[in-house]
Amino acid sequence: MELRRSSFYSTLDLVPQLEHYASTLPHSKSRPSLEALRRAFEVSIEVPNTTTDSGVSSLPTTDSGNEESQSPKEKAPVRFGWVTGVMIRCMLNIWGVILFLRLSWIISQAGILLTCLIILMSVTVTSVTALSISAIATNGRVISGGAYFMISRSLGPEIGGPIGMVFSFANALACALNTVGFAEVVRDLMLEFGVVMVDKDSDVRIVGVITVTILLLISMAGMEWESKTQILFFIVLMVSFSNYLVGTFISHGPEKEAQGIFGYRSDIFISNLKPDWREPEGTFFQMFAIFFPSAIGILSGANISGDLKDPATAIPKGTLMAIVWTTVSYLVISVTVGSCVIRDASGNISDIMTGNVTDGCVDLGCTLGWNFTECIQSKSCKYGLVLGQISGFYYLITAGVFAASLSSALGFLVSAPKVFQCLCRDKIYPYIGFFAKGYGKNDEPLRAYILCYVIAVAFILIGKLNTIAALISNFFLCSYCLINFSCFHASITNSPGWRPSFHYYSKWTALFGAVISLVLMFRLTWWAALVTFSIIFFLFGYVNYNKPKVNWGSSVQAGTYNMALSYTISLSGVEDHVKNFRPQCLVLSGPPNQRPALVDFVGSFTKHISLMICGDIIMEATDWLVKWMNKRKVRSFYTPFTADTLRYKTQLLGIYLSSASGLGKLKPNTLVLGFKSNWRDSSPESIEDYINTIYDTFDSNYCLCILRMMDGLDVFDQFDFEVNQGFESDESVENDDQPSPERVSGEQIKTVFQNDQGKKTIDVYWIADDGGLTLLVPYLLTKRKRWHSCKVRVFIVGDEQNMVEGRNEMIALLKRFRLDFNDVIVMTDSEKHPHSKNLNRFVDSVAPFMLHDEQQECVSVQAMRQSAPWKISDKQFEAFRLKVMHSFDSCHVVFLPVPQSDCPSALYMAWLDALTCGLHCPAVLIRGNQQNVLTFYCQ
């Protein structure tokens, strides 16, 4: 055993084992991690000898227990094979009361041929669905939950949850319907003996409640007792069938002939081949609607999948065999009863004909010596194609009716709680977790049994179940539709995880089954179909809104991947065009929850419009930040890169820009970062790294946006910390006891970009033509509800002589761009000297970085410039001093100047600081990549 567990190459490595892949089990084994394998030498040094008393080396493996292990004193749960667990159970539910009480009446209306067609059409739907069930059931381990489990794990909780709820309710109602059918037969039998408890309707209710109570006790006794009861019902049905077949061959006297039973005759068979619609509603689809509910029992075996020994084998084999045998039985009974019984008979022996007088006699009975003309013309014939009369012993047929109705009721009573228990355990809907608890060795859902019993009793007491019967058929058809669609969808997604061991299915037959089930829903009862879909859509909307935290690897995920991959590849072949330009932003946010203002700002103009990627260069990647953004409703990717040192961080940033952090055309074209507000107190190296980021952005032909917040929400130095710190006024940043990531991820700090901006102004300083990005971002902001009422003012540079002309030209240009910006302000004081206060502040900010090269030799200056590139020469200072401009107090979008290649980092940093200092509102420095992002042409 030890040799089997350890690998030949390593004592830590393990050979492939089944337990390693059962990750969903509570005590599953796990293979060692890559880190453990790579550090195996260190572990062996620290723990040189780890042997057991037997001398065998112990391995660092987890508990070897699995789901099947049981304590010696605990009795193993009962598990069923494919015969008793699936086939017999499905056959009993398919053989319902319709077989004994309605099949011969359908033949009298539709004839033998159309009745066989109705049977085959129903079988086609159920067979295709059974093939889909078999494929899904063999694509991995199926636990309890039946149809709900299969649909939910294939199409996800959004579809699975509503179907689980509706399917559980439908099974409970089907239990009530079959119980009422049994109670009506008992009531009629009591009337034959003159026994009446209260009245006809009340007797049905009383018998029904007593019956469903007994069935509940059988169910709660355990699956073992329930299975034995079903086998007993199956034996009774077999005896009843045998009794019927014997009755078709035995000789018949005048009493039977008066009821229309004459034995096998070719003329009777030919007469009953064609339809003879009797009632106003007698149509082919009306007969189909009456017969089809008898075929809904094919899911009975799958619904107890948790109690099967091998569901992957039992469900396909048992379900398909049940369909074959029940189809044969229905066809045999249709042909035999249609060959033995005429359509109409009075039951009166006095209607026998004497002699050969046939004047005024109609129908086939005349040639057989009976005159049933009177009852035929008055439509009062009580006998004819009535299955119950063909039997060797009449009351054995009654016993068959009892067995068929009770077995179906018991099967539905067991199925509903099993499905509902699985739904409750998935925690998709609130307030139903109480019913998830299981009891005993078979994990019986006793609480769910009680709930199903209460629902069944309630509808039995109502008594008027004809309307509910139509809903039940639609509920089951809806389940069939989604099962088939699940199989089809899983097949077309080409997911590597779709590998069913059952190969006798086709995605096209599954699609056909889904479509035909949908058509039948509306063709049978259109209003019931609308009610069904209304319920499904309501439950779907609830689940989709709450987005339960489950991941079942559904085919919807695979389909989404296929669509994204296909569209991304096709997009790669599309050339860029200015009309389709979108600011696809790579946001150097660090941990997004540490800079919510930066994240909210970019999300304000990219949500539902363009790509947003939050980039983070940190010591350790964390997944909870994605949850933080989802909770904040920020539509963005989060891409963390790990780095150990500052040097690697700077290199990774270059990789960010060069690789574009995207896929094909879905790659960023705009870099967004926060303003380095503490640059004066930072080390010169960190300033150099920050400015190099900007330089690398321009060198990579990226657009650039820098956000500055002056109200305490500014960014700390992202290069000085492994995990970037928060905002200046955030007390938690200054606290030594940092909160845990799990707690921080749940916090949602509100920023100014989440508020309704009202009628504020957005001032755009479009001083340099960058291609139009400086105008496009404010336009996208105003398309948001929170910014919709804001007024955009565009500031341009001009002179007093041509101020009006310059303003009109800009307004005309904005109209050509179809931008609703009409407020244009011409600044005519751009050539004036800055205020002395601002100039002094600028001089003071760069003073620590001055080189004063006039006082040193040229060689020394060059050497110092190489060792300290952030140093500023007097010549450079004089060149940039006159460019400093002070902005006005408003919400600002300011042009971002492009530095020359020899501009020192400290000087450029002081320049950016001077452009935005003193503002108490968000200021955005924007620079396009000099390529058009706006156009006024339509082509």
pLDDT of 615: 76
pLDDT of 146: 78
Range in 272-286, 397-411, 441-455 with the lowest mean pLDDT: 272-286
3-state secondary structure of 844: helix
Highest mean pLDDT among 229-233, 370-374, 464-468, 544-548: 229-233
DSSP state of 302: G
* Helix, strand, coil share of the chain (percent; to 5): 55, 10, 35
Band the pLDDT of 919: cuts 50, 70, 90: confident
pLDDT of 465: 63
Highest mean pLDDT among 412-421, 556-565, 628-637, 861-870: 412-421
pLDDT of 882: 53
Cα separation, 935 vs 826, whole angstroms: 23
Select from 383, 386, 388 the least CA-distant residue to 400: 388
For residues 618 and 378, which has the higher predicted lDDT (pLDDT)?
Answer: 378
- What does pLDDT average to over the chain? 77
Enumerate residues 6+ apart whose C-beta is below 8 A from 903. Answer: 876, 880
H or E element that contains 254: helix 254-258
Reported as a single tens digit per residue, the pLDDT across 229-243 is 888 989 998 998 888
Enumerate residues 6+ apart whose C-beta is below 8 A from 30. Answer: 20, 23, 61, 62
Reported as a single tens digit per residue, the pLDDT across 176-216 is 888 888 888 888 888 888 888 888 888 888 999 999 999 99
Geometric angle at alpha carbon 372, from 370 and 377, rounded to 5°: 155
**Whether residue 21 has pLDDT greater than 70:** no
Band the pLDDT of 19: cuts 50, 70, 90: low
Reported as a single tens digit per residue, the pLDDT across 834-843 is 667 767 777 7
**Whether residue 715 has pLDDT greater than 50:** no
**Whether residue 35 has pLDDT greater than 80:** no
**Whether residue 142 has pLDDT greater than 60:** yes
Band the pLDDT of 725: cuts 50, 70, 90: very low
Sign of the Cα torsion 329, 331, 332, 333 reads: positive
**Whether residue 154 has pLDDT greater than 70:** yes
Q: Give percent above pLDDT 70 in the chain.
A: 75
Q: What are the extents of the domains in the chain? A: 89-343+385-546, 581-714+749-927
3-state secondary structure of 727: strand
Reported as a single tens digit per residue, the pLDDT across 494-550 is 777 788 888 888 899 999 999 998 998 888 888 888 988 899 899 888 888 887 877
* Region for 388 from its dihedrals, namely left if φ exceeds 0, alpha if ψ lies in -120 to 50, beta otherwise: alpha
**Whether residue 64 has pLDDT greater than 60:** no
pLDDT of 797: 85
Cα separation, 778 vs 803, whole angstroms: 24
Enumerate residues 6+ apart whose C-beta is below 8 A from 701. Answer: 929
Architecture per CATH, domain 89-343+385-546, reads as: Up-down Bundle (1.20)
Select from 667, 663, 611 the least CA-distant residue to 634: 611
**Whether residue 761 has pLDDT greater than 80:** yes
| Residue that the structure tokens 């997911």 belong to | 495
Band the pLDDT of 451: cuts 50, 70, 90: very high
pLDDT of 501: 84
Reported as a single tens digit per residue, the pLDDT across 652-684 is 555 555 555 567 778 888 888 888 877 887 788
Band the pLDDT of 936: cuts 50, 70, 90: confident
Reported as a single tens digit per residue, the pLDDT across 271-301 is 888 888 877 667 888 888 788 877 778 888 8
Band the pLDDT of 822: cuts 50, 70, 90: confident
Fold of domain 581-714+749-927 = Rossmann fold (3.40.50)
